[in-house]
Structure 1
Amino acid sequence: MIQKLKDKGINVIAIEGNHDRLFDFEDLSWLDHLKRENLLILLRPSVRDGKIFFDEWDGERGGMIKMGNLRFYGIGYQGVNNSEYVERLGELLDPSFENVVIVHSAIGGSSMGLMPGFSKIEEFIPLSKKCEYVAAGHAHEKKIYEIEGTKIFIPGAPEYWDLSENGEKGFFIYDTEDKTYTFIESKKRKKIERKIMLQNGSEGEFSAAFSMAVDENPVEKDSIYSITIEVPYGVFCNVNLAGVEQKLEELGALKGRVVTKWIGQDSNLPDSSDDLDIERQIISADPSLGNYAPEISKAIDKLKDLHRSGDTDQSSMVIDDLLDQIIGEDGI
C-alpha cells in the first residue's frame, strides 16, 4: 500500500503507535525498516538532558519536517506522558507557519479514570491557534474534537481490531488551502450482528433460535458474524459458545463471535443498569472478595479499555494495582 503511494509521488509521514515500537530500545521498530527502504518519513522527537526536542528531519531522523510553508511535527505513543510532549511542542510552534501535528493519543478514556494513551482535551490547549491540523489516533473509531478553535481529528483504525467495535473508520483528507476536510470510510470486512433472546438458556432453545437467525441473516463468506445471546438476569446460559463460533466459521464466516449478556432487574438493579453495575453486583456476593467489589469492577473496566485500544502491555500494571489494594490491606 505504501509503495503505491510512493509510486504516485506522495510522501508518507508516520509516527509510531503502541504496537509499533519496542520501548526498551531507542531505535527499534518495524516502521524503521520501512524508513530504511525509503517508503516513509518516521518522525520521532528526541530527549536530551531531560528536555524534549523536535529536531528537523535530516533524512534519517528528526521530530519535524518542512514542506513549503508546512511544518509537520510527530509525537508517537507516549503513554501517560503525552501531555509533556504536547506542552513542549506548544512552546516551540511558530503560528506564522502552517503547522500539522501528528500524535498517537485519543481524547478521554475510561469512566473510571484516564488510561494510558488517552488525554484530557484540555491537555491540547498548548496547540490552540498554533496548528493547521491535529491528526490524532489510538481510538479505533472516527471522532472530531475542538478546543479553543483547534480541531483534533481521529480517523479510526481502518479495520476492526476488536470484533465488538462499531462506528465509522477511515481517512480524513484535509485541504490546507481552503481549510476544508472530507472523510472517506475504509473498506472493511462485512460484519453481521444478531441478538438472540432466550428465556431458559437451554441448548435446545438456543439451537432453534440460532437456526432462525442464520436463515434470516445468512452467513456470508469471509464476513464477521457476531451473536449476542441475551438471557434474563441470573439465568445460566448453557450454550457452548466456542462451538457456535466454530459452526459460524464452518458456514463461511472469517470469524465468529458469540457473547452472552444478562438483562432485566432480578437483582434490584435499575433498568438502566450497565455491565459495570452487573459486575459489581455479582462480585459483591462473593464471600471473600465482596468487600472489594468497587475496586475489582473498576479494574475490569480498565482492562476492557486497554483491550479495546490494543494497549494490553499495561494490563499487568492494572492487575498489580488491584492486588496491592486487596492483599496489601488484609493480606488475604
Structure 2
Amino acid sequence: MTPFRYSRATAIDDALVLGAGTGVKYLGGGTNLVDLMRETVERPAALVDVSDLSREIEEQGDGSILIGAGVRNTALLEHRSIRQRYPALSRAILAGASAQIRNMATVGGNLLQRTRCAYFYDEAGSRCNKRTPGQGCDARDGFNRMHAILGASEACVAVHPSDMAVALAAFDAEVELAGASGNRRLPLTDLHRLPGDRPDIETLIEPGELITAVRLPPLPFAKRSAYRKVRDRSSYAFTLVSVAAALDVEDGRIRDVRLAFGGIAHKPWRARKAEAALRGMPASATTFADAIDVELADAQPLRDNGFKIELMRRTGVAVLAELAGEPA
C-alpha cells in the first residue's frame, strides 16, 4: 500500500478544507476504497475520513426523506419509513454484499464504489482505460460475461456494481453535494457518466466536492415496489442482472411505473423507454415483455454476455407481474 496522510473531518466545512488539493480522497466505510488501495489500483496522497458526518435519516415536511451520506447501509435498510414506503430500496441493500460489509458501508460510499471488473483490479497484468486512460480494454475481447450490454463504448464495458443505486435511480432520488463553490443538487440518474472515451471519469462530481445526502422524493405508489437480483450464487455475489420497479395499476391498466436495471451498464440504468411504453397499457406479461424489449433494443452484447438480454427480459417481466398480481 502506498503511504498516505490521514485526517478526520469534524464537520462538512472542515471536510471541504481538508479535501482540497490533488490526490485527496474522502473515506466513508472504506469497504471499497481500502481494498483498491491494497491492490494499488487507488493511490491517494491523503484520506479525509468523513464517516462520522451526515448520519441522520430525516423525514421532511414535503414527504421526502433526507438520507445522510454517512448513514450505514444496515441502518437505512432497517429504517421503518424506508421499509414501508420504499421496500425495493430495503431489498436492494439487503441483496448487496454481506452483513458485515453493510454494517460498515455508507450511502455515499456505496454510490461511489468502483467497478468489480477483474481487468480493472488486475493492475499488474491487464490493460484498463478506467484505471489508466489510453491503455486499452482487455475486457472487450476477454472474459466479459459480467459486463455491459447497454451504454458501453470501445474504451470500457464495465458495469456499476451498486444494488442500492439501482433502486434509488428508479425512485427519482437526488444527490446533495457540497463544494468550495457552494451546495448543489443533482438527479441520481445524472450522477454517473457513461464511459465514452474517458471511463476513468465516472461521475459529475467536481474535485473536492462531497456527497452530503441523498433525497428520496415522495412517491406514494413506491409502497408497491420490488427489487430482484439475479446472480451466480444466492449471497455475496455481484449482479448478472437486477430490476427495481414500482407499479401503479388501476382497473387492470398501468397508471404509472418506475423501472431501473442493474448489472447491464456503466451506471444504474433508468428504463425510461420501457416506462413510457407501459403507461396506459394493460398490466399483462405480454405488455411487460414488449416494453422491456423496447428498452433493450439498443443492447450490444459481447461474446460472453448475450444471455443478459433474455435474462433481463424474464426478470423484468417476473418483477412487474408480481407487483401487478398477474401470472408471469
With normalisation by structure 2, the TM-score equals 0.23
1 or 2 for the larger relative contact order (CA 8 Å, sep ≥6)? 2
* Bigger radius of gyration among the two: 1
Give TM-score scaled by structure 1 length. 0.23
